[in-house]
Amino acid sequence: MSTPQALLAAGPGFLAPEWLISTFGLIGILAVVFAESGLLIGFFLPGDSLLFTAGLLVADGRYLHQPLWLLCLLVAVAAVAGDQVGYAFGRRVGPGLFRRPDSRLFKREYVERANLFFARYGARSIVLARFVPVVRTFTPIIAGVSRMHYRTFLVFNILGGVLWGAGVTVLGYFLGQIGVVRSNIEVILIGIVVVSVLPIGVQLLRSRRRAAASR
List the one residue out of 159, 145, 34 whose CA is nearest residue 84: 34
Does a structural domain hold residue 70?
yes
User: How high is the pLDDT of residue 166?
Assistant: 94
In a domain, 177, yes or no: yes
In-domain check, residue 166: yes
| Distance between CA atoms of residues 80 and 100, nearest Å | 26
Report yes or no: 141 and 114 within 8 Å, Cβ to Cβ.
yes
% of the chain surpassing 70 pLDDT: 67
pLDDT, residue 64, reads 87
Is 77 within a domain?
yes
Determine contact, residues 37/137, Cβ cutoff 8 Å. yes
Domain count for the chain, please give it. 1
More confident residue, 165 or 96: 165
Instruction: For residue 99, name the pLDDT band (cuts at 50, 70, 90).
Output: low
Taking the C-alpha atoms of residue 32 and residue 50, their distance in angstroms, rounded to an integer, is 9
Would you say residue 133 lies in a domain?
A: yes
Residue 171 falls within a domain, yes or no?
yes
* DSSP state string for the chain: --HHHHHHHHSSGGG-HHHHHHHHHHHHHHHHHHHHHH-GGGTTS-HHHHHHHHHHHHHHTSS--S-HHHHHHHHHHHHHHHHHHHHHHHHHHGGGGGGPPP-SS--HHHHHHHHHHHHHHGGGHHHHGGGSTTHHHHHHHHHHHTT--HHHHHHHHHHHHHHHHHHHHHHHHHHTTSHHHHTTHHHHHHHHHHHHHHHHHHHHHHHHHHHHHT-
pLDDT number for residue 4: 32
* Out of 44-48, 66-70, 149-153, least confident range: 44-48
pLDDT of 184: 65
Average pLDDT over residues 107-125: 75
Specify if 190 maps to a domain. Answer: no
Q: How far apart are CA 49 and CA 188, in angstroms?
A: 9
pLDDT digits (tens, 9 = 90+) for 128-138: 888 887 788 88
- Is there a contact between 25 and 64 (Cβ–Cβ < 8 Å)? yes
Pick the range with the lowest mean pLDDT from 6-10, 79-83, 120-124, 148-152.
6-10
Q: Is 209 inside a domain boundary?
A: no
Domain around 172: 15-181
Task: Please give the Cα distance from 215 to 210 (Å, whole number).
Answer: 9
Range with lowest mean pLDDT among 81-85, 114-118, 160-164, 201-205: 201-205
